């Protein structure tokens, strides 16, 4: 919801999309994500976590960034379900 309000009020986010390593000041790389963004009609918002690591050899720094995916329904058009969730295919 916060991201939607930022877009409406045209606010600039101060935090970067990819966090920098606190020791080496280089952009971290995405290791994986936990959780799943909202995809179904009964869910409108879902929180998931992105896990980043430092690419420098021997550095053990990691960072977790929480993101919220918002699904805005279009009137009269149901959201597309992923292929693994469809019946009979």
pLDDT tier, 46 (very low <50, low <70, confident <90, very high otherwise): confident
**Tokens found for residue 59:** 């550095």
pTM of the entire structure? 0.59
33 DSSP β-pair partners: 50
Separation of alpha carbons 73 and 89, rounded Å: 25
Identify the CATH class of 15-72.
Answer: mainly beta
Separation of alpha carbons 17 and 29, rounded Å: 11
What residues have CB less than 8 Å from 72, skipping those under 6 apart? 44
Extents of the domains making up the chain: 15-72
The 10s digit of each residue's pLDDT in 51-79 is 999 999 999 999 998 887 766 666 676 66
Separation of alpha carbons 45 and 43, rounded Å: 6
What residues have CB less than 8 Å from 47, skipping those under 6 apart? 35, 66, 67, 68, 69
Give the range among 1-5, 11-15, 33-37, 78-82 with minimum mean pLDDT.
Answer: 78-82
User: Over 80: is that where the pLDDT of 42 sits?
Assistant: no
User: Over 60: is that where the pLDDT of 89 sits?
Assistant: no
Q: What is the mean pLDDT of the chain?
A: 77
């Amino acid at each position: 919801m916060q991201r939607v309000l930022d877009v409406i009020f045209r606010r600039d986010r101060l935090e970067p999309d990819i966090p920098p390593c606190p020791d080496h000041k280089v952009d971290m790389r995405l290791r994986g994500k936990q959780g799943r963004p909202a995809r179904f009609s009964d869910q409108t918002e879902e929180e998931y976590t992105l896990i980043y690591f430092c690419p420098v050899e021997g550095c053990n720094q990691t960072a977790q960034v929480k993101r919220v995916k918002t699904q805005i329904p279009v009137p009269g058009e149901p959201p597309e379900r992923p292929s693994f969730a469809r019946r009979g295919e």
